[in-house]
Structure 1
């Protein structure tokens, strides 16, 4: 049977930490808790489950904290968990079965990650596969009978285990702060990070968050090296920000250029919003229909689906 190291990074999690650990502690061979600056009883609660508690100075970088936590692990596999996750009885049994029969060639195990809509800040869906269990030491293997090469892609197993994500509050404000700091320190966001930034803005951001994103989005659009998909995401952010700030000439210049180059639901929806806010319900409805029927979303499926449909229903009620 394989051994599991539980690695967690925490900060002020006294309300949920015990709930998480109670649901998985018996399946773990060691529990590693890395605290990034708690001022509540988090470390006191953690001490009831493990003596492997470490302090890590928070540097606005989750990867740095997780790498530090992983460096302390000693078991065959590392299970990465957040304090607001829970394993129910059925999925506890599934993880126990996985531990008993896990094949050593498997390097990553993915699990279903279930988040309630009201706390979903970055995804267009409530259920997604996430890598949760990692082989601590990887063995390199030669493959192919001729012209042999070392296998570079990890062996990934998609399990039926469901992790229930039950946060006490949303963390988008914290995330926006990190996105902004990363941009200020590095001068740019990578395409992967920018994609998450765009998703978080459209799914959980307030108007103020969009205006704060103007500099970052403009920088992405102005850089000729920016990938096409990232440019499209940046243009969607700019369109909403211009509308929020009532910069109408800039809004329409950007919107129609974007529709010519990269037609998408988000831009059609924003144009619909412009006409709705000015009382032109018929024109607004045309653009909402275009968002639903003639274009596809690139960031937020709601603007090409449920949100646009909701706007249409509102228009029909008023007329």
Structure 2
């Protein structure tokens, strides 16, 4: 759906779009948190010329193969939850496989995603590895496959394989926030706090304006700040811990854990200030 603001933007676009443009991409808001903040997003081509006869690719999670003169617009289309058959996509893929059809590399990737959604982690691992071994995937899908592999291994409590899958994302591009947060949590669990701080800070420093790739904003916003709050508290660096909790609160102002942290630090720092005055 389009919010009223984005409906107005679309009207302006239709009035001002140059005739030589062949396709227009728009931001796709995939999910939201309880406060209405966008938590995952990417770009999709939404407006195309009919006479170009662009083709849809794929049986599931289709995409429009566009070419020519392309234009990126800041109009946002929001995906709102509707009831649907959770088995539909999985059944489509399994029927194709049972019929002897050879899946494209992209379909292998999305089939693995469906397997994850149905908690078939060992099967998903097989297909993610097949997808990566094909060397035919888009770089962003390769990175997502590695991160999905890491998640599968985490679900199976195979921590070392989880880390290996996470590190393999570095062979495709600079470290992504999700990978940084996985590494941060890995070290955090081991109480290797300096190492954990390093990786959570890396997650916050990442900048990516290429919205064609899937982005989960949690891993570059409130989550690393919240974890840094905990880590600095371990070092008794309470002002730094407080600051990071406040940064997290900007993104999730109603989160009970963040609010509980704020109450704790407010009380602690106030008492500390009083004690300093009495010295």
Q: TM-score by structure 1 length?
A: 0.45
Q: Could you say which structure has the higher helix fraction?
A: 2
Q: TM-score by structure 2 length?
A: 0.49
